[in-house]
């Protein structure tokens, strides 16, 4: 489950019934046991302890250290120290996510990301040096693959898990081609497929047939060992009555016991 603060997308998706679902409730609703909790528009603010109590029944939880693009506090500094502190207290914290991390285009100063590659290398070392080694996750949109390989590699080399996302649903038929690019870029890095349940890029519903396509493609890759997990976004739209969400909930119930390779988390 990709978690955001309750009601985070109510204004954006105002044509639907307002959501009240929390991240933990979203995971329960979809039948998922793992959570990636990401700050949205600077919420929630640290400390995260009280928030994390609702995640204790979950197996694995990854907290963002760089939140979404509207989490401007992470433009200056990450939430690394807060997540490391959280991992000291809660054993089910397993990693740190960098969301909306790469810029769509290279900036005039030559940067392609919200933090320098040197900062990320130092951050990755700190994640490995705590009470328990934590994984560094990074979001990679299809359009981020347009950056030069030489610019991306310093960041990719510091990442343990890459999460591939398709911003526009109309591009979902290109999944095979785009994952092949990621495989060439980072052949040894673990990968997950991010599955939007709403077409945020076009601000409209994802047709159920495209939702089915990306889910079945992800399951195929999971079973073959090509990827290590599927992520469903987002908890704060699960109770809006969106058809793709309802299809996904039923699909997860149907395929939840599908045998997977030992390394795969499945969700």
Judged against a pLDDT cut of 60, whether residue 241 lies above it is answered with: yes
Confidence of residue 265 (pLDDT cuts 50, 70, 90): low
Residue 142 near residue 172 (C-beta atoms within 8 A): no
Judged against a pLDDT cut of 70, whether residue 92 lies above it is answered with: yes
pLDDT value at residue 261: 76
Determine the Cα–Cα distance for residues 5 and 39; give it in Å rounded to an integer: 7
Determine the Cα–Cα distance for residues 105 and 28; give it in Å rounded to an integer: 37
Confidence of residue 266 (pLDDT cuts 50, 70, 90): low
Judged against a pLDDT cut of 70, whether residue 175 lies above it is answered with: yes
> What is the percent of the chain with per-residue pLDDT over 70, rounded to a whole number?
98
pLDDT value at residue 258: 86
Confidence of residue 207 (pLDDT cuts 50, 70, 90): very high
Tokens of 27: 């995971």
DSSP 47: P
Residue 218 near residue 228 (C-beta atoms within 8 A): no
**Whole-model pTM?**
0.96
Burial of 95 per CB tally in 10 Å (0-12, 13-18, 19+):
buried
Determine the Cα–Cα distance for residues 198 and 7; give it in Å rounded to an integer: 15
Q: Is 95 helix (H, G, I), strand (E, B) or coil?
A: strand
* Mean pLDDT (whole number) for 41-70: 98
Closest C-alpha to 138, from 265, 6, 36, 262: 36
Q: Rg of the Cα trace of the chain?
A: 17
Judged against a pLDDT cut of 60, whether residue 93 lies above it is answered with: yes
* Mean pLDDT (whole number) for 93-111: 97
CATH code matching the domain that covers 2-255, chosen among 3.40.50.2020, 3.30.70.1400, 3.40.47.40, 3.20.20.80: 3.20.20.80
Residue 188: CB atoms within 10 A of its CB come to: 6
192: which strand partners? 163, 229
pLDDT value at residue 32: 97
């Amino acid at each position: 489950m990709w978690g955001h603060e309750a009601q985070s997308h109510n204004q954006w998706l105002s044509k639907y019934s307002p959501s009240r679902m929390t991240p933990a409730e979203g995971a329960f609703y979809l039948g998922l046991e793992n959570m990636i909790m990401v700050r949205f528009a600077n919420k929630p603010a640290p400390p995260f302890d009280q928030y994390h109590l609702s995640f204790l029944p979950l197996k694995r939880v990854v907290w963002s250290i760089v939140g979404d693009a509207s989490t401007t506090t992470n433009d200056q500094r990450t939430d690394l120290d807060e997540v490391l502190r959280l991992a000291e207290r809660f054993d089910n914290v397993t990693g740190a996510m960098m969301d909306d991390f790469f810029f769509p285009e290279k900036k005039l100063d030559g940067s392609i990301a919200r933090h320098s590659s040197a900062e990320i290398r130092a951050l990755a070392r700190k994640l490995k040096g705590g009470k328990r080694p934590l994984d560094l996750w990074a979001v990679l949109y299809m359009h981020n693959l347009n950056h030069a390989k030489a610019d991306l590699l310093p960041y990719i080399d510091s990442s343990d898990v890459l999460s591939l996302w398709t911003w526009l649903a109309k591009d979902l038929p290109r999944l095979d081609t785009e994952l092949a690019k990621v495989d060439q870029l980072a052949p040894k890095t673990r990968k997950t497929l991010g599955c939007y349940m709403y077409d945020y890029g076009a601000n409209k519903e994802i047709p159920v047939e495209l939702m089915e396509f990306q889910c079945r493609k992800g399951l195929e890759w999971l079973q073959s060992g090509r990827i290590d997990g599927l992520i469903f976004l987002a908890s704060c739209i699960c109770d809006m009555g969106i058809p793709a969400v309802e299809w996904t909930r039923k699909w997860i119930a149907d395929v939840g016991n599908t045998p997977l390779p030992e390394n795969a988390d499945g969700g």
